[in-house]
Amino acid sequence: MKLDGAVAVVTGGASGLGEATVRAFIAKGARCAIMDRPNSPGEKLAAELGSNVIFTPADVTNAEQISRALQQTATTFGGVHINVNCAGVGAAMKTAGKAGPMPIEMFEMVVKINLIGTFNVIRLAATEMLKNTPDEDGERGVIINTASVAAFDGQIGQAAYSASKGGVVGMTLPIARDLSRDGIRCLTIAPGTFDTPMLAMLPEPQRQALAAQIPFPSRLGEPREYAALATHIVENAYLNGETIRLDGAIRMPPR
């Protein structure tokens, strides 16, 4: 699918991987809706990037809010062709330990946002994509999800996070198969350790220690590299149903 003239909805688009993706897409001629929390920098970012970007505040777990945001996007830009799902949360706690068992509410919250929230957006965005006229390759849309290397190499304290991201990986192929007859592709990117706002809060020695674990290049991933892969996925029509690790060959140790 050509990005020039396409319309993309990016969840978590106000910062980090999502923001980098919005910037990369508009540089290629796309129009973008930043879908993020109402208190995020989404409105400010949209104003900075100009008339090809709008801010559509929404909670990914709220079907009504997502439907309203997608409708706003379709009305403003004439449709929805691409959905990139970057919204997510992290939480770290052992299954059981000196502090007792992990609160089930913590597990539920992480799964609800990272897994159920992602599927909620997918199912509603895909419904909008079904309205599109197929392009010369027969495509109506492209969906890109964000998992994590934790889906495969979950560390101590990551049971909830790994389960949520493993679920995203697990649903990628069946969703691609579900939507194949309609010309909609679905893929997932599984980033390693990236320099995002979450990691920016860590002390510099801890950031350097994380970077040292990465075989090559021995540094934190840059959001622009995620955006570059997302761009390639959109433009390469033969990619479908796959999860792609983007991690500098890291395999996470137990802790």
Report if residue 252 sits inside a domain: no
User: Quick check: is 2 in a domain?
Assistant: no
Containing structural domain, residue 85: 7-246
Q: Is residue 121 part of a domain?
A: yes
User: Does 161 participate in catalysis according to the annotation?
Assistant: yes
Looking at the domain assignment, is residue 74 inside a domain?
Answer: yes
Of the candidates 198, 220, 225, the residue with the CA atom closest to the CA atom of residue 209: 220
Q: For residue 202, is it within any domain?
A: yes
- Per-residue pLDDT at 186 exceeds 90: yes
Domain assignment present for 170: yes
- Mean per-residue pLDDT for 44-54? 97
What is the value of pTM for the model shown? 0.95
Confidence of residue 203 (pLDDT cuts 50, 70, 90): confident
Determine, yes or no, domain membership for 135: yes
Q: Is residue 1 part of a domain?
A: no
Return the CATH number at 189.
3.40.50.720
Residue ranges of alpha helices (H) inside the chain are 16-27, 42-49, 63-77, 104-111, 117-129, 159-179, 197-200, 204-212, 223-235
Task: Count how many domains the chain has.
Answer: 1
Q: Can you tell me the distance from the alpha carbon of 70 to that of 80, in angstroms, rounded to the nearest whole number?
A: 8
Reply yes or no: is the peptide bond before residue 197 cis, omega within 30 of 0: no
Query: Diameter of the chain by CA atoms?
Result: 60
Which residue among the candidates 55, 77, 161, 194 is catalytic per the annotation?
A: 161
Q: Above 80 in pLDDT, residue 201?
A: no
Q: How confident is the model at residue 102 (pLDDT cuts 50, 70, 90)?
A: very high
